[in-house]
Chain A
Amino acid sequence: MTHAQFAAFSDNAVMFASIVYALAFLAHLAEWAFVRSLPLPAVAEPVAVGAGGGLARAAARVDLADRPDAPAAAGAHGRGSDEDRELRVEKLGRIGLSLTILGCALHLAGLVGRGLGSDPIRVPWGNMYEFTLAGTFGVALMYLVLLKRYQLRWMGVLVTGFLVVILMLDQLELYQDAGPLVPALHSYWLMIHVLAAVIASGAFAVGALTLVLFLVKSRAVQRGTLQPRGYLARLPEAVALERVAYRVHAFAFPIWTFAALVAGPIWAEYAWGSYWNWDPKEVWAFITWVIYAAYLHARATAGWRGKAASIIALVGFASLLFNFVGINYFFGGGSLHSYAGG
């Protein structure tokens, strides 16, 4: 295939990826819609939910006959229809997950095609459209990678919704035709730097989503407004959500440290002749790093753990996003970039 064909292929792959993510989103949405009308699965098995068992596993294991409050909770539904519904919920969840995997594969194809579609071939992150494409891919990839380990399927609806919205915006608002990189970006350190940043950002995004759910759920629990059915009730226990979020952050933080404080400075040293320039994008990478370090500290400090620490991590994510847009502003615009302008 020629470069132009690869570029066209990439555009199609990205479009299909968004469509498939949208279908995955709908499947997960239907999953949760069905759950609304279902009672909570057996309370006798909370460990499975709390300590890593996903919604689906807990739900699939329910035997309503054993439930002390089964008749009341099951309401007008017969036992058989509830079991059917549980099965359907499970099936919808699996469909959502499979579609997400398919979407992620298409997403990857889109990224690779983008790299091959430029003449000469290059890494597919050189402008705002591509950064966003790579960043969203990082979110999808990290969700799938961490899914198995931390039983994250309950996040599916949020992650796919997020991916659909951002990818659509990317294609509609930020699209740029494939083309070569400005010389400043000709460096394999760029590849390493961006790869690490994308992976870390993806994981931070997953962690931030988890923390939002944690905050919402623990608030509902605290106020006593937690409904016995529906999405929130089926989420893992607040404590378990918080723990998963911490582990995801702990996974992301060293990678971010590497991206922002090792690979970035090395590349800057080659490109600008000084490894740390206090350039706004560096400053914000540093700020993000410091805030996440504060989160890790807060989580180990009595009285900060839980809500306060979570809010710090969310502030960290906000600064990450701000910097992401900032980076694109400096590199994507081209004309603002010192190399393009001389």
Chain B
Amino acid sequence: MSRLETGVPVPETEAGGSATQPPAPPASPPALGPVELARWAWRQLTSMRTALVLLFLLALAAVPGSVVPQRNIDAVRVRSWQDAHPSLTPVYDRLGLFDVYGSVWFSAIYILLMVSLVGCVVPRLRIYWRALRARPPQVPRHLDRLPQSRRFEVDEDPDAVLERARRVLRSRRYRVAVDGSSVSAEKGYLREAGNLLFHVSVLVVLVGFALGQLLGYKGSVITIVGQGFSNSLSQYDDFDPGSLFDPDQLSPLSFTVDDFHVSFLTSGPQMGQPTSFDAPITYRTTPGARPRHHDLAVNHPLDAGGTSVFLVGHGYAPVVTVRDGHGQVAYHGPAVFLPQDSSFASFGVVKVPDAAPEQLGFEGLFLPTYGFTMERGPFSQFPDDLDPVLSLVPYHGDLGLDDGRSQSVYTLDKSRLSTYPNTDKALGPVKRIKLSVGQTVGLPNGDGSIRFDGVRRWVKLQVSHSPGKDVALAGVLVGILGLMLSLFVRPRRAWVRVRRDGPDGGPGDGSGARPGGGRTVVELGGLDRSSGGDLSGEVDEIERLVRGDPTAPDQDPQHVEHQTQEEHA
């Protein structure tokens, strides 16, 4: 380790301090008053090391959200996870593990990181502003201690060499300052600018993201084809508002789902995979507006004045008619069944609270293309509705809808319901009904009948509004630009010092030109201030140009390669 550290050029300190790094904080708090303590804490918080630790913590804190189901992503999975882990649930709930990205500790980390970022960027902006207007730093006394340095002699007059050095550096887009017998030059100011731009844009992205999280909303609704939707809270199946969301903000959008098309691969190894689906809708942005049409498809959402509608899923809604024990139609209509797998075998229930004398319920599978084997029982061979069959278990008793507790429309509360015994025990203990389209089957004991009238489809739509997404996008794009400047621009400094050697060949007094005898000694030093630095090529090139001759610098016996010595130190 230590060898490595000495091996890596550490230019910052040698070249008279760095503009990019905040000073390293002292290791322990000074035993001083509250003001000093606060200042110490602030320096700690805005140090590079703290930023590093906070970045790590952020990465670490994001992990549980990818493992534990999250409430605002998949509430259903959260509930089933909680059912499966009753003892862990209260602990996890306390820790906010079902809503990691909204939890106190996650917020604390990124807020600290942002505070640290501001605390880090603001002083750097000031320093940068000053550096932009400052002259390139003066020649270090010992040019030969720089990671790259050269020393050579030429015959020309020192002033001429100095002037040429100035021009060479200028034409290589260095900012130069001539100071007596030396030239200082610096370039690559855009690196720090890019770095600052990047860090500021991190803040901008966060603001854009926060706007969406606080003021936006996202809701989803299952709509049976032919039915309509109007944008109000009561219409949603689930709704996830931002914490500052106000229901009055819901735009007065309304639409009807006119149709739904889906096609599946009918052959080949991926048989049954959907190839396309889309749903033509008619919508109005305000109740009085002219109706317009849009073809909703995956990757083709509707954007109606900031409110977006997406097609995120589809499924079947078998239409059934249930008659009760008195022969009255107690239920008629489509019931939404939720697909269980890619074959669209779908699970659902039909609740018939109006049936008399007892309430009726049905639970079971909808199979769009019926198949049956002894091992598997009934299953769906294909996702399209080629041979739709309903396979239901009928229940009778009390649906539990009257005690005021809310119930999912997709499950039956069976605590006060009973099944019918099967007449043929070989088919299992419980009575099960199999229905094809158009069929009617009577229930035992004259409790009524159920008829499978037909199949309709539903689409799952997601309606969302996320303000600030343009801000976030612009922020990331600008951030990438800044990042590229920061990573690819190489800030460099170069110095040239020229003096006349004494006529005896000994070292001169450094007072500059002494016309008449001796040679002109040129010292050249270079410093790469980026962290990927390797400056030898650039310094070689400057040397060649300052010499004013095209010969390769390698041929000079005086050529000193400090790079070499460094790497073997």
Please indicate the chain A residues that have their CB under 8 angstroms from the CB of B4 in the complex.
Answer: 218, 222, 238-239, 242, 305-307
| CB contact list, A312-342 vs B, under 8 A | 319, 334-335, 338-342
Q: Which of B3, B5, B308, B483 contacts A253 (CB 8 A)?
A: B483
Q: Are B21 and A47 in contact (CB under 8 A)?
A: no
Please indicate the chain B residues that have their CB under 8 angstroms from the CB of A340 in the complex.
Answer: 273-274, 342
With A182-B274, A273-B464 as known contacts, state yes or no: A335 contacts B342, CB within 8 Å: yes
With A262-B477, A339-B298 as known contacts, state yes or no: A180 contacts B270, CB within 8 Å: yes
With A51-B534, A183-B274, A302-B24 as known contacts, state yes or no: A342 contacts B567, CB within 8 Å: no
Q: Which of B70, B301, B313, B479 contacts A342 (CB 8 A)?
A: B313
Looking at the complex, which of B60-68, B80-88, B373-381 is the stretch in contact with chain A? Answer: B60-68
| CB contact list, A192-245 vs B, under 8 A | 218, 221-222, 237-240, 242-243
Please indicate the chain A residues that have their CB under 8 angstroms from the CB of B1 in the complex.
Answer: 222, 306-307
Q: Which of B5, B339, B566 contacts A305 (CB 8 A)?
A: B5
Is A81 an interface residue when CB atoms closer than 8 A count as contact?
no
| CB contact list, B10-62 vs A, under 8 A | 10, 20-21, 24, 48-49, 51-52, 55-56, 58-59, 62
Please indicate the chain B residues that have their CB under 8 angstroms from the CB of A341 in the complex.
Answer: 313, 339-342
Once the chains are docked, how many angstroms separate the CA of A290 from the CA of B338? Answer: 38
Please indicate the chain B residues that have their CB under 8 angstroms from the CB of A335 in the complex.
Answer: 341-342
User: Shortest beta-carbon distance, B431 to chain A, in Å?
Assistant: 29
Is B235 an interface residue when CB atoms closer than 8 A count as contact?
no
Once the chains are docked, how many angstroms separate the CA of A342 from the CA of B500? Answer: 84
Q: Are B341 and A179 in contact (CB under 8 A)?
A: no
Please, what's the 1-or-0 string for A47-91, where 1 marks a CB less than 8 Å from any CB in chain B? 100111000000000000000000000000000000000000000
Is A132 an interface residue when CB atoms closer than 8 A count as contact?
no
Is A297 an interface residue when CB atoms closer than 8 A count as contact?
yes
Q: Chain A contact residues: over half helix, strand or loop, or mixed?
A: helix
A335 and chain B: residue at smallest CB distance: B342
Q: Are B59 and A291 in contact (CB under 8 A)?
A: yes
Once the chains are docked, how many angstroms separate the CA of A272 from the CA of B218? Answer: 11
Is B310 an interface residue when CB atoms closer than 8 A count as contact?
yes
Q: Are A272 and B310 in contact (CB under 8 A)?
A: yes
Q: Are A297 and B476 in contact (CB under 8 A)?
A: no
Once the chains are docked, how many angstroms separate the CA of A180 from the CA of B70? Answer: 31
Is B460 an interface residue when CB atoms closer than 8 A count as contact?
yes
Q: Are B480 and A258 in contact (CB under 8 A)?
A: yes
With A272-B310, A283-B62 as known contacts, state yes or no: A334 contacts B273, CB within 8 Å: yes
Please indicate the chain A residues that have their CB under 8 angstroms from the CB of B464 in the complex.
Answer: 273-274
Q: Are A305 and B313 in contact (CB under 8 A)?
A: no
Identify which of B72, B100, B479, B567 gathers the most chain A CB atoms within 10 Å of its CB. B567
Once the chains are docked, how many angstroms separate the CA of A296 from the CA of B205? Answer: 20
Q: Which of A180, A271, A287 contacts B275 (CB 8 A)?
A: A180
Is B473 an interface residue when CB atoms closer than 8 A count as contact?
yes
| CB contact list, B428-486 vs A, under 8 A | 460, 462-464, 466, 469, 472-473, 476-477, 479-480, 483-484
Q: Are B270 and A51 in contact (CB under 8 A)?
A: no
Once the chains are docked, how many angstroms separate the CA of A315 from the CA of B567? Answer: 27
| CB contact list, B318-348 vs A, under 8 A | 338-342, 344, 346
Is A16 an interface residue when CB atoms closer than 8 A count as contact?
no
User: Shortest beta-carbon distance, B136 to chain A, in Å?
Assistant: 22
Q: Are A342 and B344 in contact (CB under 8 A)?
A: yes
User: Shortest beta-carbon distance, B225 to chain A, in Å?
Assistant: 14
A50 and chain B: residue at smallest CB distance: B567
Q: Are B479 and A247 in contact (CB under 8 A)?
A: no
Is B386 an interface residue when CB atoms closer than 8 A count as contact?
no
Is B253 an interface residue when CB atoms closer than 8 A count as contact?
no
Q: Are B66 and A297 in contact (CB under 8 A)?
A: no
Please indicate the chain B residues that have their CB under 8 angstroms from the CB of A254 in the complex.
Answer: 480, 483-484, 487
Identify which of A262, A271, A277, A290 gathers the most chain B CB atoms within 10 Å of its CB. A290
Q: Which of B56, B276, B531, B561 contacts A47 (CB 8 A)?
A: B561
| CB contact list, A24-50 vs B, under 8 A | 46-47, 50
* A-B contacts, 29 listed (Cβ < 8 Å): A47-B561, A51-B563, A177-B269, A182-B273, A182-B274, A183-B274, A218-B4, A222-B1, A239-B4, A243-B533, A254-B487, A266-B473, A270-B299, A273-B464, A274-B464, A280-B66, A290-B56, A291-B56, A296-B487, A300-B20, A300-B531, A305-B8, A305-B531, A306-B1, A307-B1, A335-B342, A338-B313, A340-B342, A342-B460
A242-B4, A287-B62, A290-B55 known, 15 other contacts, Cβ within 8 Å = A183-B297, A186-B298, A246-B531, A261-B476, A271-B298, A273-B312, A273-B462, A287-B63, A290-B62, A296-B487, A297-B48, A300-B48, A307-B4, A340-B274, A342-B314
Give the interface of B toward A (CB within 8 A): 1, 3-5, 7-8, 10, 20-21, 24, 48-49, 51-52, 55-56, 58-59, 62-63, 65-67, 70, 72-73, 100-101, 205, 209, 218, 265, 268-270, 273-277, 297-301, 308-310, 312-315, 338-342, 344, 346, 460, 462-464, 466, 469, 472-473, 476-477, 479-480, 483-484, 487-488, 531-534, 536, 561, 563-564, 566-568
Give the interface of A toward B (CB within 8 A): 46-47, 50-52, 176-177, 179-180, 182-184, 186-187, 218, 221-222, 237-240, 242-243, 246-247, 250, 253-254, 257-258, 261-262, 265-266, 269-280, 283-284, 286-287, 290-291, 293-294, 296-302, 304-307, 319, 334-335, 338-342
